[in-house]
Amino acid sequence: MEGAVLALLLLLGGTASGLAFAVLRALRAAERQQETSAALLALQAQLEALREQVRSSLDGNRLELDRRLEETQRVVGDVRRSLGAVDQQVRSVGDAARDLRGLQELLRSPKPRGVVGEYLLSELLAQVLPQASFALQYEFPGGERVDAVLRVGERLVPVDAKFPMENFERLRSAIAGADEAAEREGRRAFRADVRRHVEAIARRYIRPGEGTYEFALMYLPAEGLYQEILHQASDDGLDLFHHALSRHVVPVSPQSFYAYLQVIVLGLRGLSIEGKAREILERLGLLRTRLDRFAESFDTAAKHLGHAQRQLDEAGRRLARLQEAFGELSGPGRETAPLAPDLPLPSVTNVD
């Protein structure tokens, strides 16, 4: 087209050259516009494809995001519920801590603490021993009452469960606070408590004249208390444990008392077997006595029967002689009826 325009320009000459150039520029502009339109159309198609690709990707991402959002919401819900449960547990722990503090304050008083100690002692006895082998709150004939007694054989083992804990608690607080002066004072007071309590048990509960053994048990409700008594020295040169033993008082903790009870259970079984064996021997002795009496009666009856047999035999011989004499007096050839019919005599075996 440009060649045709150039040829037209040559024909027209200079007059129309300006117009021809204007037409040429217009044609070139039209061509460029067409090219631009085609490029725009191609670009628009690419943009549409890209838009579709982005839309598809966004749709997939939206689904993934929704799924993750739902998962996140579920996790958040679980976390919220877990936090609620934890909060409830924290509140429960707080309530329990307050209850424990209240219980601790309550147990600072000797009487409630003594009740708890007696309850733990009764539960331990009930779990290990038969009901008939122990008694709680046993009262002696003189009126003194002990927390428990163990029935071993024909005698009783007294058990005390009212050890004073105040000075022991002060000693533990002094040790925890690293206060040496308070610790020395606490140990002194604790030793005095142990000695006084041992003397009280020995004086009140060891009563052989009222059916007890020559010893008693001092039940200590805590293992730490038992260990402290094992390692504390007394004023007489002995440790507190051996001082108690010298007064015939045996300190026991829950664990060691359980071991003692197991030994007692074995002893009770042995006593039960021994009692049954004694009962069998007594019954055998009674049967022996009855058998001897029966043998004596049988011998006496046999002797009487033997004597009766001899008497009966003698009577039979006398009757025969009498019949013979009577026949001789009746004369020869005469038949006389026997004085008594010939009856068979019973046979009795003489056992002499």
Q: What are phi and psi of 147, to 5 degrees?
A: -60, -40
CA distance 174 to 181: 8
pLDDT in tens, 45-96: 877 777 777 777 777 777 777 787 788 878 877 777 877 777 777 676 656 5
The SS3 assignment for 236 reads coil
CA distance 349 to 308: 11
**Token duo for residue 227:** 């260990």
Sort residue 285 into left (φ over 0), alpha (ψ -120 to 50) or beta: alpha
pLDDT score of 104: 47
pLDDT score of 352: 44
**Token duo for residue 101:** 């503090």
Q: What are phi and psi of 198, to 5 degrees?
A: -60, -45
Assess contact for 348 and 308: CB atoms under 8 A: yes
Assess contact for 217 and 168: CB atoms under 8 A: no
pLDDT in tens, 220-249: 888 888 888 887 765 555 688 888 999 999
Q: What is the DSSP letter of 345?
A: P
Strands (E), the chain: 134-139, 145-152, 155-160, 216-219, 249-252
CA-closest candidate to residue 119, choices 269, 206, 275, 127: 127
**Token duo for residue 261:** 């009870």
pLDDT score of 181: 86
